[in-house]
Amino acid sequence: MIKLEHVNKSFHNGKPAVSDISLDVNTGETLVLLGTSGSGKTTTLRMINRLIAPDSGQIYVNGMNVNTHEITSLRRTIGYVLQDNGLFPHYTVAENIGIVPALLKWDKKRIDDRIRTLMQKLHLPPGEYYNAYPQQLSGGQQQRVGLARALAADPPVLLMDEPFGALDPVTRASVRKEFRSLDEINNKTVIMVTHDVQEAFELGDRICLMDNGMVQQTGTPAALLFSPANDFVRAFFDDQRLLLELKAVRLADVRPWLDTNTPPSTADTAVLQEETSCWQAMEQLTMLSSLNYTNRGNLISIDTSGLMHAFTQYKQTISSNGRSTGLS
Ligand SMILES: Nc1ncnc2c1ncn2[C@@H]1O[C@H](COP(=O)(O)OP(=O)(O)OP(=O)(O)O)[C@@H](O)[C@H]1O
């Protein structure tokens, strides 16, 4: 768990880079720091692993006060992924991934097993890439090695600074998808910086939207869209609002407005879980005319028009009810 209390930071020109930031990130949660360029996202992240010292305020990582805790043991609890991956060019892929376990003096077999496990999970077959050097890999593969290196010693906290920012859009989408499905991150506290709104919506359990060094709003993607705290938050998402809303609203949210009288499709078709977003369901429906979705064990049939109808009804209800729909 990570906690920031009234944190401030100014650089030499005296202009505040970060003003009075307070945040709580729970174990197992991914919080995305999103915002305009120069809004203080990277400064906030780098204060957590003490690459930058705050002027005032307190920061805790799993109960340790970052500013007073011994720095080596603090950093060993934190994996750090950078935009340019920061791999050592003269180390092989395996050596890069094994750096922290070697520093922790794990025995050779354990290090080797861990490297191979992570390479498999991140789709880097050890037979092909174990002894390769970073420059022999594509940008997406290098970024996967960077991620494997950050995860190697299984730190409880992962900090990621624009981890997919240097990748082309197609590679970026595939590495992002792999990251999302990685079991290794399930129990970790993750903070990720991005200025990509869609990335924030796909990966963030909650989003902290920043502007001008200040937190404008922290909440679920749905809360930011449907209960914006101010005009800045409202305007920030305007140019891609429908897409973001479809990504933020889950089948579970729209279920009360789905027609449950239609018998489930008997064809051999996909069965979606209630956590699936309306966007993902729409994507599937472009390939299949109807789908089933499972709600507490019951199969419910959905099609495109029924789903859009339920989505519209959901939006109308929350715009009249505001926060009473459980947005937080
Ligand atoms: N080392 C530094 N020295 C002086 N000013 C700095 C330094 N690092 C950041 N700043 C300033 O602090 C402010 C916040 O910068 P920061 O890098 O945290 O923003 P950001 O939201 O991560 O931006 P971006 O998305 O462009 O990376 C900016 O005005 C920046 O110019």
Question: Is there a contact between 57 and 223 (Cβ–Cβ < 8 Å)?
Answer: no
In angstroms, rounded to a whole number, what is the distance separating the alpha carbons of residues 38 and 154? 31
Provide the residue-wise pLDDT of the chain in tens; the chain has 328 residues: 999 999 999 998 888 999 999 999 999 999 999 999 999 999 999 999 999 999 999 999 999 999 888 888 888 899 999 888 789 999 999 999 999 999 999 999 999 999 999 999 998 999 999 999 999 999 889 999 999 999 999 999 999 999 888 788 888 888 888 888 888 888 899 999 998 998 999 899 999 999 999 999 999 999 999 999 999 999 999 999 999 999 999 998 998 898 877 777 666 677 788 888 999 889 888 887 677 777 666 777 888 888 999 999 999 988 777 544 445 4
Question: Is there a contact between 97 and 118 (Cβ–Cβ < 8 Å)?
Answer: yes
pTM of the model: 0.88
Query: What distance in angstroms lies between residue 39's CA and the mean position of ligand 1's atoms?
Result: 7
Q: Look at the alpha carbons of 85, 87, 92, 96 in this order and tell me if their dihedral is positive or negative.
A: negative
Ligand 1 binding residues, C-beta < 6 A: 11-12, 17, 35, 37-43, 195
Compute CA 242 distance to the chain's CA centroid, rounded to the nearest angstrom.
21
In angstroms, rounded to a whole number, what is the distance separating the alpha carbons of residues 261 and 213? 51
Q: Scanning the structure block, which residue is given the tokens 């008997």? A: 266
In angstroms, rounded to a whole number, what is the distance separating the alpha carbons of residues 248 and 227? 13
Pocket probe for ligand 1: among 42, 199, 212, the residue whose CB has the most ligand atoms within 8 Å is 42
